[in-house]
A and B are shown apart, each in its own frame.
Chain A
């Protein structure tokens, strides 16, 4: 008899996390935990495999087909692994008016990848995305969960170089409008927050 390969269930050693996620929702709303469970797996594994979908479906009490139907509805869950640095370029109108298309072409040229591709070493992947709500600070490049706004050619090149060294610089804190001057005017009056390093994973 052949020993079939088995995969350790993702949540087998994360029972506290699992309980915390399920506990966010009322008992009758257990299915609401589907999206956060998908997020947890994707965060760790950079995609959600068929095996993980089956595991999550069983936890929630739905079929794997249903769970996959939900997952595939949303554009930020991935069925295939994305890179350690997932480069998402917004190309919707406000970004396009600020060079979003050229930014996309530039990132493609520098990485040798196009939309939907991941490189062989699993470092970079590229995805065209729609409006990220950064229209006032366009063009925007989202790397994993962090926004890099008003990006320039030299800025993108420096960012890519840093990522080739496995460093991810802190994201921008652009606000646009008159909110930068406000920060200056009122900084003295509000207590500083030592925990705010401004970084997203």
Chain B
């Protein structure tokens, strides 16, 4: 484990001898997105195995035994989620792929969709078989146009080759996909908002229950998973649950796609066994920070930040350790915050994001996240804030928690609360002097 500021070793997760890179093996490889290339390295063998040698219940059991937890951010056990589907009643059932990746700091799904679309399609096919759904919906965010094009081409290829359609892969199983393009709304990453969006409605989240397994797309039983979860399923079926469960920690199995952004030498996506430390990710793989850092956001913008301490950098990146540290693994999107960035300014950036993305349905979120919080940050940054404002902001983010249909308000409140917890002195400096502790400088180096 490296403790120096910048690792000189050219270690990359891809060539790490301790484990096998599976999810990202073909990302960045020219031509890997075609059906021929995918089949040349054994693609769709896992789906064939599932559809011909396993019952749907056995596939669910295998995924349960693997210990896979949802990679969209919440970490709910995937196999368990699949088992919530009611028995088939002869009506349409849906498997949905949430490819609306929009959590700031997260960019793992995009490259999977662009460079290895068949891996995602194969995962959906296996999942569709397991929950006995003959139709899948692939909802990809509007800005990912390249991914949309690649997915459309992959679906066309798969249909022409009998991988999708009637009697897929020479079996008696029917399965087809509907590719649907979003149009720029973070809230569509929330599963019920995504379903409303797919149905041609405003993307307001729905009240739960009923949960998607009871009433999802068009009111029909539906299971929804993240892109990376579907890709993981392919390898679980291919190599077995025991192989998968042998990687990771007690409560977090397999490999995961971690992302590093902010001022580091080699920002990007790295696949690591769960439980690897932030230090391994940030220093050994991403090359360490390019300037002194004071904090990092561990798993996408909505996860509470952690100060840049040895203890925090040595935390294992798994669900239990993150919960114990008072934060969350989220999407695994690490954002490094340099010493020179005003924490109030950084938080205002994220608050502005959530203010823009609040759907306006629930009053606490519409008034608190969309209106009051950004205005209070503006007041602070203009040098007009008071001590009472700071207390009011702390109280506000406390009261925002758990008051809305969906977690967006919490997603905004939690990181703001963490910034007050760890960096209240920077807020106080702004109030006392009217100027930020770290004034803005140009960050465009190129």
A168 within 8 A of B: no
B186–A38 touching, CB < 8 Å: no
For the complex, what is the distance from the CA of A79 to the CA of B12, rounded to whole Å? Answer: 46
Q: Write out the residue numbers on chain B whose beta carbons fall within 8 Å of the beta carbon of A129.
A: 143, 184
Chain A residues within an 8 Å CB radius of B259 = 135-136
Q: How many residues of B contact A (CB 8 A)?
A: 88
Q: How far is the CB of A121 from chain B (nearest CB, A)?
A: 25
> Do B180 and A35 touch (CB < 8 A)?
yes
When A92-B349, A135-B335 are in contact, do A176 and B266 touch as well, CB less than 8 Å?
Answer: yes
Contacting pair B28 A183 (CB below 8 A): yes
Q: Which of B32, B269, B337 contacts A136 (CB 8 A)?
A: B269
B104 lies within 8 A of A94 (CB): yes
Asked whether A75 and B183 contact (CB < 8 A) given A135-B259, A182-B28, the answer is yes
Q: With an 8 A cutoff between CB atoms, is B442 at the interface? A: yes
Which of A77, A103, A186 neighbours the largest number of chain B CB atoms within 10 Å of its CB?
A186
Cβ of A162 to closest chain B Cβ, rounded Å:
18
Within 8 A of A (CB), among B194-213: 197-203
Report the separation of the CA atoms of residues A190 and B66 in the bound assembly, to the nearest whole angstrom.
30
CA distance A192 to B105 in the complex (A): 32
Residues on B with C-beta less than 8 A from A158 are: none
Selected contact of A70 from candidates B202, B267, B268, B269, CB within 8 Å = B202
Contact code string A138-169 (vs B, CB < 8 Å = 1, else 0): 11001001110011110100000000000000
Alpha-carbon distance A14/B220, docked complex (angstroms): 32
Q: How far is the CA of A87 from the CA of B218 in the complex (A)?
A: 36
* A75 proximity list for chain B (CB < 8 A): 183-185, 356
Q: Is the CB of B34 within 8 A of A191?
A: yes
Q: B101 contacts the other chain (Cβ, under 8 Å)?
A: yes
B31 touches A192 (CB 8 A): yes
Contact B145 A145 (CB under 8 A): yes
CB-based contact B268/A178 at 8 Å: yes
CB within 8 Å of A: which of B89-120?
92, 101-107, 109-111, 115
A64 touches B (CB below 8 Å): no
Given contacts A26-B92, A133-B143, whether A35 and B183 have CB atoms under 8 Å apart is: yes
Cβ–Cβ contact B34 & A193, under 8 A: yes
CB 8 Å contact bits of A95-113 with B (1 = contact, 0 = none): 0111101110010000000
| Cβ-based interface call for B26 (8 A) | yes
Given A32-B180, A190-B37, CB of A92 within 8 Å of CB of B353: yes
| A73 x B144 contact (CB < 8 A) | no
The chain B residue with its CB closest to the CB of A72 is B202
**How far is B261's CA from A54's CA once the two chains are assembled, in angstroms?**
43
Most buried by B among A28, A31, A75, A142: A75
- The residues of A that contact B338 with a CB separation of less than 8 Å are 97
Q: Is the CB of B443 within 8 A of A96?
A: yes
- Give the complex CA separation of A151 and B446 in angstroms: 8
**Are A24's CB and B178's CB within 8 A?**
yes
Interface check B80, CB cutoff 8 A: no
> Could you tell me the distance in whole angstroms from the C-beta of A31 to the nearest C-beta in chain B?
4
Asked if A193 and B200 sit within 8 Å, CB to CB, the answer is no
Roughly how many angstroms separate A175 CA and B146 CA in the complex, as a whole number?
A: 13
Question: Could you tell me if A183 and B29 are in contact, using CB atoms closer than 8 angstroms?
Answer: yes
If A151-B446, A191-B36 touch, whether A131 touches B102 (CB-CB below 8 Å) is yes
The distance from the CB of B258 to the nearest CB of chain A, in whole angstroms, is 9
Alpha-carbon distance between A105 and B77 when the two chains are bound, in angstroms = 45
A70, B28: Cβ atoms under 8 Å? no
Q: Is the CB–CB distance between A136 and B267 below 8 Å?
A: yes
Q: Give the complex CA separation of A187 and B297 in angstroms.
A: 35
Q: Mark B407-446, 1 if CB is under 8 A from A, else 0.
A: 0000000000000000000000000000000000011111
Interchain CB contact under 8 A, B27 and A99: no
Q: Which residues of B contact A150 (CB under 8 A)?
A: 446
Q: Beyond A26-B218, A131-B353, A135-B104, is A93–B444 a contact (Cβ under 8 Å)?
A: no
Whether A93 lies near B443 (C-beta < 8 A) is: no
How far is A139 from B40 in the complex, measured between Cα atoms in Å?
36
**Contact at B145–A91, with CB atoms within 8 Å?**
no
Residues B200 and A70 in contact, CB atoms below 8 Å apart: yes
A162-201 near B? 1/0 per residue, CB < 8 Å: 0000000001000111111111001100111100100010
CA of A186 to CA of B143 in the docked complex: distance in angstroms?
29
CA–CA, A179 and B145, complex, Å: 21
A137 at the interface (CB under 8 A from B): yes
Are A196 and B31 touching (Cβ within 8 A)? Answer: yes
Asked whether, in the complex, the Cβ of A153 is within 8 Å of the Cβ of B335, the reply is no
Please give 14 more A-B residue pairs, beta carbons under 8 A apart, in addition to A26-B92, A76-B143, A92-B350. A35-B181, A70-B202, A92-B104, A92-B349, A98-B444, A103-B444, A129-B143, A139-B444, A175-B28, A175-B111, A186-B26, A190-B31, A190-B37, A200-B149
Query: Can you list 5 pairs linking A and B with CB atoms under 8 Å apart?
Result: A26-B135, A99-B445, A134-B107, A177-B266, A182-B28
Interface positions of A (Cβ within 8 A of B):
24-26, 28-29, 31-36, 38-39, 60, 62, 69-70, 73-77, 91-94, 96-99, 101-103, 106, 129-139, 142, 145-147, 150-153, 155, 171, 175-183, 186-187, 190-193, 196, 200
